[in-house]
A = this chain, B = another copy of it.
Amino acid sequence: MRTVALRAGVSSATVSRVINGSPTVKEKTAQRVRRVIEELNFIPNPSATTLKYGRSKTYGLIIPDLTNPFFPEFLLHFEDVLVENDHELLVATIRASEEKLISSVRRMLMRRVDGVVLMASEFDTKAIEPLFLHNIPVVTVDRRRAQRGSGDVAIDFEHGYQQAVLHLRELGHRRIGFIGGNEGLTTSQIRAQAFEKAVKDAHLPYSQALTRAGNYRVAGGDDAMRSLLEQKIRPTAVLTANDLTAFGVLRALHAAGVDVPTKMSVVGCDGILLSDSMYPSLTTISIPLREMAQACVTALEHTKVNIAKKGLLLSVRGSLTVRDSTSGPPR
């Protein structure tokens, strides 16, 4: 930068002003400086700014897993929102390892991020304590509680499952099965309860016998569906905790020779891109990723200026995308 200043016959302060678009610089000077910047291929060094001000114009995103397409798809939208807000993105994947979460949090702290979005489904709160300690705004996803320095963006499964159940009831289904996530995870409980409520609100019979745990992955959906098929009284439709689980359900049904949708209807959740590419294409609850990303940033910015208060509790709701995996029950 000094070189640029020298060459343009100004001080480095003026160069800085030009780079940051300060209006107090005479246009002619600014042009000269810009030309020199071009000539010298000058690239500013943000680490100097980070060093000086202890902030980096970077938000962190901690996700459990990149192999579930839901997360990269969210990441994409999150990145878009950040770019609009002139921020960088620091991603960390933790693959259900407490150790990785701890080291990710440390990386975020080192890099002086301006905030962290935490999508890890389950974790020891102690692991993220350092973020609060250093006054870094935090937003969790679907933990549904705020505290000093942290907000939350909930995914409104209650609404999504209600839509799905009503859709199935309209088609004539009465016995709707459910394949959830790993037992024990809070988010799995939320989804299971949302399903139960949706069924009861629709005045349909609810039975534990028609629900199974999965693991948010294909294999879990497959196993659970096989188990459901062994029931004496089978459901005529199945709802799942996410799309990968639904993929497993489709596979199990194929293997068992149960046609979808004529013999069994299937509804997923997430709306990942591949859900439209299955055979049959999957009816699913699409989560509005862009809106969710925006909500995360909103909550983060809110917390930044109110770091001593409880953060925002926001919520986004999915909408049912009806495709070919649902139809009336067999008669």
Residues in chain A within 8 A of chain B (CB atoms): 41, 43-48, 50-51, 54, 56, 66-67, 69, 71-73, 75-76, 79, 88-89, 91, 93, 106-107, 109-112, 130, 133-134, 218-219, 244, 247-248, 250-251, 254-255, 273-274, 277-279
Residues on the B chain within 8 Å of A134, using CB: 41, 43
The complex places the Cα of A67 from the Cα of B76 at a distance, in Å, of: 9
A47-B56, A250-B279, A251-B279 known; A76-B66 Cβ under 8 A: yes
* A–B Cβ pairs within 8 angstroms, 5 of them: A46-B111, A47-B50, A66-B72, A69-B69, A89-B91
Q: List, in ascending order, chain B residues with CB within 8 A of A273's CB.
A: 67
Output the nearest chain B residue to A41 by Cβ-Cβ distance. Answer: B133
Q: Is the interface of A mostly helix, strand, loop or mixed?
A: helix
CB–CB B93/A76 < 8 A: yes
CA–CA, A247 to B272, complex, Å?
15
Determine the chain B residues whose CB is within 8 A of the CB of A219 once the complex forms. 277
With contacts A73-B67, A91-B91 taken as known, whether A130 is within 8 angstroms of B277 at the C-beta atoms is no
Q: Which residue of B lies closest to A272 (CB)?
A: B67
In the bound assembly, the distance between CA atoms of A278 and B250 in angstroms comes to 9
Q: Are B109 and A43 in contact (CB under 8 A)?
A: yes
**Contacting pair A51 B47 (CB below 8 A):** yes
Kindly list chain B residues whose C-beta atoms are within 8 Å of the C-beta of A279.
Answer: 250-251, 254-255, 279
The answer to whether A112 touches B67 (Cβ under 8 A) is: no
- 12 further interface pairs, Cβ-Cβ under 8 Å (given A67-B69, A251-B278): A43-B130, A45-B50, A47-B47, A47-B51, A66-B73, A66-B76, A67-B273, A69-B72, A76-B93, A88-B107, A89-B91, A218-B277
Give the oligomeric copy count: 2
Q: Name which residue of chain B comes closest to A251, CB basis.
A: B279
In whole angstroms, how far apart are the Cα atoms of A250 and B44 in the complex?
50
Bound-state Cα–Cα, A183 to B33, Å: 44
Q: Which 10 A-B pairs have the closest CB atoms?
A: A47-B47, A66-B72, A218-B277, A47-B50, A254-B279, A72-B72, A43-B109, A47-B51, A251-B279, A48-B51
| Residues of chain B contacted by A73 (CB below 8 angstroms) | 66-67
Q: Tell me, in angstroms, the Cα distance from A50 to B49 when the chains sit together.
A: 11
* Chain B residues within an 8 Å CB radius of A255: 279
| In the complex, chain B residues whose CB is within 8 Å of the CB of A112 | 45, 47
How far is B93's CA from A54's CA once the two chains are assembled, in angstroms?
27
Looking at the complex, which one of B48, B110, B111, B218 makes contact with A274 (CB distance below 8 Å)?
Answer: B218
A175 to chain B, nearest CB (A): 24
Chain B's closest residue to A279 (CB) is B254
Shortest Cβ gap from A220 to chain B (Å): 11
Which of A71, A250, A255, A274 has the largest number of chain B CB atoms within 10 A?
A274
Contact B76 A110 (CB under 8 A): no
User: Hey, which chain B residues are within 8 Å of A47, CB to CB?
Assistant: 47-48, 50-51, 56, 111-112
